[in-house]
């Protein structure tokens, strides 16, 4: 049973990287650096990971609006934002688990590296 759970979690985490465009990976990295770099104690790992998932969702909505070919037309931009918002509201639990796992590991690694550099 535990093996099945771990396989599902790893599939969700690897699915995050396999279906992402370079722009989405850049946003993912920026959000990971922001959330991991602002941790002041190891006890914040869970809250910062959840905050990172929310920030990633908001960043993806904004990115979809700005990546539109007619982004300077208000109607087109609002249509793209609505499409991105609808997509964000229909994200599956497996995808959320994958993003949470990525941010969990990156926050722990970044905080550990920051702690070692400060000492």
Task: Please tell me the predicted confidence (pLDDT) of residue 71.
Answer: 64
Residue 50 contacts residue 29 (beta carbons within 8 Å)? no
Residue 64 contacts residue 85 (beta carbons within 8 Å)? no
Q: Quote the CA–CA distance of 51 and 74 in Å, as a whole number.
A: 29
What Cα–Cα distance (Å) separates residue 102 from each residue in 4, 53, 89?
19, 10, 20
Residuewise pLDDT in 10s, the chain (119 residues): 788 888 888 888 888 888 777 888 888 888 888 888 888 887 888 888 888 888 888 888 777 767 767 666 777 777 777 877 787 788 888 888 888 888 888 888 888 888 888 87
Residue with tokens 């104690």: 41
When divided into structural domains, the chain yields a total of: 1
Task: Please tell me the predicted confidence (pLDDT) of residue 70.
Answer: 67
What Cα–Cα distance (Å) separates residue 58 from each residue in 8, 29, 111?
26, 14, 23
**Which residues form the domain of 58?**
2-118
């Amino acid at each position: 049973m535990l093996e099945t759970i771990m396989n599902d979690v790893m599939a969700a985490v690897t699915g995050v990287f396999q279906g992402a465009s370079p722009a989405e990976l850049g946003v993912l990295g920026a959000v990971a650096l922001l959330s991991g770099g602002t941790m002041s104690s190891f006890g914040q790992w869970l809250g910062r990971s959840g905050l990172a998932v929310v920030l990633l969702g908001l960043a993806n909505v904004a990115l979809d609006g700005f990546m539109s070919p007619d982004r300077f037309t208000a109607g087109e931009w609002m249509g793209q934002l609505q499409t991105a918002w609808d997509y964000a509201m229909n994200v599956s639990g497996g995808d959320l688990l994958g993003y949470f796992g990525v941010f969990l590991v990156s926050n722990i690694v970044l905080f550990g590296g920051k702690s070692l550099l400060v000492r």
